[in-house]
């Protein structure tokens, strides 16, 4: 395993980070989820990312149980706050002071830890003053419940404003967690340059495009049974944008490149996002331990420039690059 600094902080994290969105507490049984976490630990992964909203708090609880008995100082545990949790009452959502301060205590209890290394705003809250949000985060840090602060799916302007307030409050906003993959590059024009300027690192989610870049979805054929594209608990909705024959045909053109580099297509996809020098870690999930062992082989891989050019040529115009997509995909009002 290779390790990278998270932004300009002194915190090092495993460049392959284990995430349990859409799996723990939902798609896979708890014993299999625990096996996946233990496989990650065996592979040298020390960084684990979750959120209170995943499986409506169940994912945090599963991760806490799976990490029980591990040396806490040797782990980096991340979680997030924003989306509705619990009974989804009027204050069970968003980035108000009430929701943040209540949510961090719930997350710590489920994760069975006294602190998280990184506490992230899971989306931008248009209905709460940013000053209130950042003050609440500052109080969480000063209380010793989180070491650093991050954001997820914020625009470049939102990140800049949040970073400025954090600096004024004496806390460190060090990370951004956006979607980023060979097929989804919307952070490159604005978010990445802004974050480089401010010393913020990317922890990118869905580097394999919810499995599309693994090559298992074939053009003109139905998705394999049990795959994310058949999951009615949220997986199918997330993957739908890529499930057309044009995209799938272009993805299949990556296989010869992966073969030449002695990589699987999934490993190629993970190695590609790690090629970006603003990316601190690629988030990977798993529904079985074997997937963890395969994905970690992307750590430390360097893709030659010639192969990078061929990748771009193979994918062509199916790549989404519009920076406006970050704002378009964000909630305009608090979800209920």
Q: Is 157 helix (H, G, I), strand (E, B) or coil?
A: helix
Q: Are 149 and 118 in contact (CB under 8 A)?
A: yes
Q: Are the beta carbons of 187 and 326 closer than 8 angstroms?
A: yes
The helix (H) or strand (E) run that includes residue 240 is: none
Which of 54, 82, 180, 217 is an active site residue?
Answer: 54
In angstroms, the Cα distances linking 277 to 6, 130, 173, 238, 240 are 11, 29, 18, 27, 29
* R_g of the chain computed on alpha carbons: 19
Q: How far apart are CA 246 and CA 249, in angstroms?
A: 5
Q: Indicate if 54 belongs to the active site.
A: yes
Q: Decide: helix, strand or coil at residue 244.
A: coil
Using alpha carbons, select from 67, 58, 35, 111 the residue that is nearest to residue 286.
35
Q: Catalytic residues, which ones? A: 54
């Amino acid at each position: 395993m290779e390790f990278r600094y998270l932004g300009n902080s002194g915190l090092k994290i495993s460049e392959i980070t284990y995430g349990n969105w859409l799996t723990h507490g939902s798609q896979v049984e708890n014993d299999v989820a625990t096996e996946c976490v233990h496989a990650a630990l065996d592979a040298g992964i020390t960084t684990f990312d979750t959120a209170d909203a995943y499986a409506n708090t169940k994912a945090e609880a599963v991760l806490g149980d799976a990490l029980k008995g591990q040396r806490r100082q040797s782990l980096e545990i991340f979680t997030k706050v924003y989306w509705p949790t619990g009974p989804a009452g009027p204050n069970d959502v968003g980035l108000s002071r009430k929701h943040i301060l209540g949510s961090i205590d719930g997350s710590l209890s489920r994760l069975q830890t006294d602190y998280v290394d990184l506490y992230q705003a899971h989306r931008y809250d248009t209905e709460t003053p940013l000053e209130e949000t950042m003050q609440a985060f500052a109080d969480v840090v000063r209380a010793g419940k989180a070491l650093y602060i991050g954001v997820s799916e914020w625009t470049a302007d939102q990140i800049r404003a949040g970073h400025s307030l954090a600096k004024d409050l004496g806390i460190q906003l060090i990370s951004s967690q956006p979607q980023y993959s060979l097929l989804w590059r919307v952070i490159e024009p604005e978010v990445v340059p802004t974050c480089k300027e401010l010393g913020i690192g990317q922890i990118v989610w869905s580097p394999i495009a919810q499995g599309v870049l693994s090559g298992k979805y074939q053009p003109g054929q139905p998705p394999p049974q049990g795959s994310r594209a058949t999951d009615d608990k949220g997986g199918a909705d997330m993957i739908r944008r890529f499930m057309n024959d044009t995209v799938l045909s272009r993805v299949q053109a990556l296989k010869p490149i992966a073969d030449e580099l002695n990589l699987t297509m999934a490993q190629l996809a993970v190695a590609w996002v790690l090629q970006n020098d603003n990316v601190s870690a690629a988030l990977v999930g798993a529904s079985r331990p074997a997937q963890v062992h395969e994905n970690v082989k992307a750590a430390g891989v360097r893709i030659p420039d010639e192969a990078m050019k061929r990748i771009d040529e193979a994918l062509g115009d199916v790549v989404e690059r519009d920076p406006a997509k970050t704002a378009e995909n964000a909630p305009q009002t608090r979800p209920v």
